Amino acid sequence: MKNVSYDIAALILLIVLLHSCYIRKMTRGISNRLFMILTLDTIASTIFDIAAVFLDNAQSNNTIALYTMHFGYLLTHFLSAPMYLLFLISLIDTWHKLRKNIILQAILFVPFVMTVSVLAANAGNHLVFSVEGGYKRGPLFPLLYICTIVYVIVAIIYIIRYRSLLGRTKIITTSTFVPVELAAMIVQMVHPASRLEMFGGAIGLLIVSVGIQRPEDYIDSFTQLTKYSAYVYDRKRDSYNDKHVKIIMLNIGNFPSVQAMVGFDSAMQVLKEVANKIREINRKMRGHADLYYLDNGRFRIVFWGRYYDRAEGMAEALNQELKKGINIMGLDINLMPYMVLAGYPEEFKDFRTLMSFGADFHQRDPYTGRIMRASEMYDQKQLDIQNNIDAIIERALEDERFEVYYQPIYSIPQGKFVSAEALIRLFDPEHGFISPELLITAAEQNGTIHRIGEFVFEKVCQFIASEEYKKLDLEYIEVNLSVAQVMNGDLPETYLSIMEKYNVSPAKINLEITETAAAYEQEVMIDNLKQLTRAGISFSLDDYGTGYSNIQRVIQLPLKIIKLDKSFANENNNQKVWIFLKNTVKMLKDMNMEIVIEGVETQEMLDKFTDLQCDFVQGYFFSKPIPQNDFVEFISNAKKI
């Protein structure tokens, strides 16, 4: 007697599973659909099996019914293996590769044809099974298992080949399906009465559903669009599989201010409304695009295959629609939809570049309302540097590749060069010149600024201690301190000990600090400045007049020099700027401070600032920052004139 309890349990499980696919809205997309077909197929074979067992146990003589049930069972059951493989292929999204690979096509197709044809031929030859005088397996029956084993082997190879793409959870879930199914199959092969196979299949599908088909992992609950994590996974998969897609990147540039203005709930309503419009246009234009909502008002619409070329039209339509704004509860909200069209992977060298470009393109350029092309908007070289800056800095520290350049500073009253500013330079063997601004910002973020700062300071002290420096007859060298350094309590001790090591007098050092709005740890900063001033070091305030300019600070801090930002040198023709400069210089001089004007590039500028009675001038007019040797030569030559 065969036992159907496991079959019934399997049936219940499968129906619940199917139901949950609907509830969780897991019905769209190829892999979801294949998963549902697989579940339906397993349900069908379970029903056939129950019916067949029922007839077998009743020793029915109705051969047509018996034959139909066994045939139905075997057909649906043995087709689940190729279906599972198709599901796996869709999960990894290698359809386009399958189309080109004839061998793989044969491996997929031949066992399938074999299974179907031996089952079809069975009606005449009874080589697989017969039902006359009870159900019996025929000599060709093992062929069905052999075909299944082929699929299992291909599935395992697939999982191994694409393991890096699948990630741990997916590897575990996709591969546990195989042993669970296999174990049940072996038990049933040995004990045909146990009817465990369907139950094994149901458990396998359940594992896959829990491990892979998790909507909360990739459906955003507000917009009902696919989430950031899925976007990341899908794009990684595209570049891995060399699948070409066209992406509309839509960043609502003013989303933060919309949120601040209307509050969280209404802002979410805005997002929902935008998502609806995207969905609607996608449907109307038959774009068949994948739709994503990432975060902070950023949407992505991805076109591929036959629909690749529809991206442009959809971008236009969507742009027109969104520019009209959105009405939420009677309130008209204007949107700033920044839209960029990008071909991937051709326009982005790698996945990281795509992601970092997409994060903030709307913050870099002013809003024009036009649809932009990714390739026109960014400099691949700059983006490469930005993406790799941490590694670049680490490598430069290891290989001691940082250099210190010097830019001469001219004293107007004395009519000669009296000092210089030390500026860091880095030439990376792979990326070339790295801009100091980018370098310093990254170093502040990753904490390497302290090592870099010490390196620069040590180089400067070494230079000051050298014989050639002494001949130059300079008063001091200015060295930049970044905010993170000024806030660091160890700064005075470290810097003083470096000076001691090279026997450098504090009078020969001037440290440049920048203004910062940071209210935190003001005491540490003031304390550091006081300690170093007491030791005899003087300070400059760099880039005065930009960013956070606070006269309070100028009064409070022990400053010797104020460096007017180079933007003033550029804008000296502007009447208002000139009035500001005139009065600022007068005020600072009355406070007994010395003034450097930075960024002087022409004789005309020099004359103007001489009239203004600035003390020092720094700029390309005299020299760009140059390497130490060139600097020595420059000053030596200047002295001779």
Can you give the binding site for ligand C2E, defined by CB under 6 A? 407, 423-424, 436-437, 440, 453, 456, 480-482, 512, 542-543, 566, 598-601, 618-620, 625
Q: What is the DSSP string of 251-299?
A: EETTHHHHHHHH-HHHHHHHHHHHHHHHHHHHHHTT---EEEE-STTEE
Q: Which does 424 bind (CB under 5 to 8 A by kind): ligand C2E, Mg ion, none?
A: ligand C2E
* Between 271 and 481, CB nearer to Mg ion: 481
Binding piece for Mg ion, criterion CB under 5 A, among 127-135, 298-306, 369-377, 541-549:
541-549
Residue 575 burial (CB count, 10 A): 7
Least distance in Å: CB of 599 to Mg ion? Answer: 8
Least distance in Å: CB of 472 to ligand C2E? Answer: 20
Cβ(510)–Cβ(471) below 8 Å: no
* Between 371 and 605, CB nearer to ligand C2E: 605
Among positions 458-497, residues that touch Mg ion (CB under 5 A) are 480
* Near Mg ion by CB under 5 A: residue from 482, 543, 544, 595: 543
Among positions 585-624, residues that touch Mg ion (CB under 5 A) are 598
Beta bridge partners of 331: 328
User: How many residues touch Mg ion (CB under 5 A)?
Assistant: 5
Instruction: Classify burial at 444, counting beta carbons within 10 Å of its beta carbon; exposed 0-12, middle 13-18, buried 19 or more.
Output: middle
What is the three-class DSSP state of 390? helix
Angle between helices 141-161 and 80-92 (to 10 degrees): 10
What's the rounded Cα separation, in Å, for the pair 477 and 466? 13
* Between 286 and 381, CB nearer to ligand C2E: 381
| Pairing outcome for strands 136-137 and 129-130 | antiparallel
Least distance in Å: CB of 619 to ligand C2E? Answer: 3
What's the rounded Cα separation, in Å, for the pair 97 and 113? 21
Least distance in Å: CB of 540 to Mg ion? Answer: 8
* Between 144 and 477, CB nearer to ligand C2E: 477
Least distance in Å: CB of 308 to Mg ion? Answer: 49
* Between 204 and 619, CB nearer to ligand C2E: 619
* Between 81 and 532, CB nearer to Mg ion: 532
- Chain centre to alpha carbon of residue 551: 41
Least distance in Å: CB of 539 to Mg ion? Answer: 12
Q: Does the protein bind Mg ion through residue 56 (CB under 5 A)? A: no
Cβ(175)–Cβ(152) below 8 Å: no
What's the rounded Cα separation, in Å, for the pair 494 and 500? 10
Cβ(478)–Cβ(422) below 8 Å: yes
Among positions 203-232, residues that touch Mg ion (CB under 5 A) are none
Q: Which does 423 bind (CB under 5 to 8 A by kind): ligand C2E, Mg ion, none?
A: ligand C2E
Residue 497 burial (CB count, 10 A): 9
Structure-token pair, residue 157: 């190879």
Residue whose entry in the numeric block shows the structure tokens 């092969």: 189
Least distance in Å: CB of 454 to Mg ion? Answer: 17
Asked if the bond preceding 345 is cis, omega within 30° of 0, the reply is yes
* Near Mg ion by CB under 5 A: residue from 512, 568, 605, 614: 512
Contact residues: Mg ion, CB under 5 A: 480, 512, 542-543, 598
